[in-house]
């Protein structure tokens, strides 16, 4: 990864090469974290996330079921895969099943297997995900979507360590470690009768709560660099992320969590082609109603959700980053431009465009 000039320190790893001039800058540290963990596990720098990873590492050495709760897109499958790879089962299969993505009529056969001729279209026997994961780990994602009838069979499989394929008369022993993920409140689902209480307590031996990305902001910069490492084209030069772009990313509320961050960075790679640096002009957020909710303390006024436009969202993020830079240097434009990594002329242009768009900005000097 290069940062304009090629001078400075260099780090090489599986994901590529990072060149940086200031080893203690926030962006340099974030890039180093991304490089260190690229392809090896969850990328994190926030204390809350690091605590979760440490706990997951300890749980990996056991065979107890793990229940991972958290909003969609927070990295539950990544953490599940980390638990598997850190366990004694690492050499065996890791199979992830999204319970919401498989039609209810097929889910039982897909999980527990079936005998040839056991139902229309069963022209051959199928082993099912449980037997395919024998000796390894089976991730049941979005488990709250599993029908109640199948929840009873899943409970038996967990308790007895065996499955009965559709059409079979004898159970088959399996050795599978279960990790379940849920983005719904399972205790509430139990209370409403949509999830079996006995299955919930069987899975809830040691729950892990994944936080929304906006609640662990120190993870944003390392994750942004990790997304570049993942998606930069083979043989292509990897751009740096400017301070202004990082500030915009840090101040965005991330309703789509890490999955949305990945989308934003993929767009940034496309828009910044030919540039040595991803600037704030390359950061385009998802246009959703939730994208304009006010994060922390915003020095600008957002438009009503119903009339939010993508261009306005981008302008607001840019204005926020620029205003923070101006405030940090006492309103001095030249120093603010230097901190943002842009020219003073570009800064003046941005300030003028914000005023024309009706976004409140300071005068500066």
CA pair distance 232, 239, nearest whole angstrom: 9
For the chain, where are the alpha helices, taking DSSP H only?
A: 26-37, 47-60, 76-85, 104-112, 128-132, 148-160, 186-191, 197-203, 220-231, 243-251, 257-271, 310-328, 333-340, 344-356
Whether 114 shows a pLDDT value over 60: the answer reads yes
* pLDDT tens column, 224-271: 999 998 888 777 778 899 999 999 999 999 999 999 999 999 999 888
> Is 9 a member of any domain?
no
Please state which of the ranges 60-64, 279-283, 296-300 shows the lowest mean pLDDT: 296-300
Contacts of residue 245, Cβ cutoff 8 Å, sequence gap at least 6: 268, 278, 279, 280, 282, 283, 321
Q: Which of 242, 243, 238 is nearest to 227 (CA)?
A: 238
Q: Out of 195, 213, 231, pick the residue that ends a domain.
A: 213
In a domain, 284, yes or no: yes
Q: Does some domain include residue 286? A: yes
For residue 231, give the CATH number of its domain: 1.10.8.60
Is residue 218 located within the same domain as residue 185?
no
43 domain-assigned: no
Say what the pLDDT of residue 262 is.
94
Does 182 reside within a domain?
Answer: yes
In a domain, 244, yes or no: yes
The reply to whether 128 and 254 lie within a common domain is no
Residue 327, domain extent: 214-356
CATH value at residue 72: 3.40.50.300
Q: How do strand 162-163 and strand 16-20 relate by DSSP bridges?
A: unpaired
Kindly state whether residues 244 and 283 are assigned to the same domain: yes
Same domain (yes/no): 289, 242: yes
- Domain end point (choices 186, 213, 240): 213
Answer yes or no: is pLDDT of 179 > 90: yes
Four-CA torsion 25, 26, 30, 33, nearest 10 degrees: 70
Instruction: Among 153, 184, 213, identify where a domain stops.
Output: 213
The verdict on residue 4 lying in a domain is: no
Q: Which long-range contacts (CB under 8 A, 24 or more apart) does 1-10 make?
A: 1/31, 1/35, 1/225, 1/228, 1/229, 1/238, 1/239, 1/240, 2/237, 2/238, 2/239, 2/240, 2/276, 3/240, 3/276, 3/277, 4/240, 4/276, 4/277
State the total domains in the chain. 2
Within the chain, what is the greatest distance between any pair of CA atoms?
Answer: 82
Judge whether 24 lies within some domain: no
Same domain, 205 and 178: yes
Q: What pLDDT does 21 receive?
A: 52
Q: Which residues on neighbouring strands pair with residue 19, listed in sequence order?
A: 10
Are 183 and 252 contained in the same domain? no
CB of 287 closer than 8 Å to CB of 313? yes
225 and 317 in a common domain: yes
Specify whether 201 is located in the same domain as 251: no
Residue 177 is encoded by which pair of tokens? 């470690």
pLDDT of 300 higher than 60: no
The span from the first CA to the last CA of the chain, in angstroms, equals: 35
Do 240 and 150 sit in the same domain of this protein? no
Band (pLDDT 50/70/90 cuts) for residue 354 is: low
For residues 240 and 304, membership in a common domain is answered with yes
pLDDT at 346 over 60: yes
- Does this model's pTM top 0.85? My answer is no
Mean pLDDT, residues 149-161 taken together: 93
The pLDDT, as a whole number, for residue 165 is 87
- Specify whether 158 is located in the same domain as 275: no
Higher pLDDT, 166 or 349: 166
Question: Is the same domain home to 88 and 106?
Answer: yes
């Amino acid at each position: 990864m290069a940062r304009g000039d090629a001078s400075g320190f260099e780090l090489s790893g599986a994901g590529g090469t990072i060149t940086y001039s200031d080893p203690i800058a926030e962006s340099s540290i974030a890039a180093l974290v991304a490089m260190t963990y690229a392809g090896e596990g969850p990328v994190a720098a926030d204390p809350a996330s690091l605590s979760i990873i440490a706990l997951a590492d300890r749980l990996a050495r056991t065979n107890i079921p793990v229940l991972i709760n958290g909003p969609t897109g927070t990295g539950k499958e990544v953490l599940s895969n980390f638990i598997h790879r850190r366990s004694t089962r690492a050499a065996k299969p890791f199979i992830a099943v999204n319970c919401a993505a498989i039609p209810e009529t097929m889910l039982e056969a897909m999980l527990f297997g079936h005998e040839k001729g056991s139902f229309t279209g069963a022209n051959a026997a199928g082993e099912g995900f449980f037997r395919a994961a024998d000796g390894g780990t089976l991730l049941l994602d979005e488990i709250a979507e599993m029908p109640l009838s199948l929840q009873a069979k899943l409970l038996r499989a967990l308790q007895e360590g065996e499955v009965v394929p559709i059409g079979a008369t004898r159970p088959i022993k399996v050795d599978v470690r279960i990790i379940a993920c849920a983005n719904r409140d399972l205790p509430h689902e139990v209370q409403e009768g949509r999830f079996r209480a006995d299955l919930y307590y069987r899975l809830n031996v040691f729950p892990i709560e994944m936080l929304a990305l906006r609640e662990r902001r120190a993870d944003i910069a390392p994750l942004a660099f990790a997304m570049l490492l993942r998606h930069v084209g083979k043989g292509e030069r990897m751009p740096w992320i400017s301070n202004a772009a990082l500030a915009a990313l840090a101040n965005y509320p991330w309703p789509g969590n890490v999955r949305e961050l990945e989308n934003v960075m993929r767009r940034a790679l496309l828009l910044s082609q030919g540039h040595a640096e991803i600037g704030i002009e390359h950061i385009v957020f998802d246009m959703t109603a939730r994208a304009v909710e006010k994060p922390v303390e915003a020095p600008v006024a957002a438009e009503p959700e119903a009339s939010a436009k993508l261009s306005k969202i981008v302008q607001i993020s840019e204005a926020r980053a620029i205003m923070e830079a101006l405030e940090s240097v006492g309103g001095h434009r030249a120093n603010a431009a230097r901190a943002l990594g842009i020219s003073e002329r570009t800064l003046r242009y941005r300030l003028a465009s914000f005023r024309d768009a009706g976004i409140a900005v300071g005068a500066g000097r």
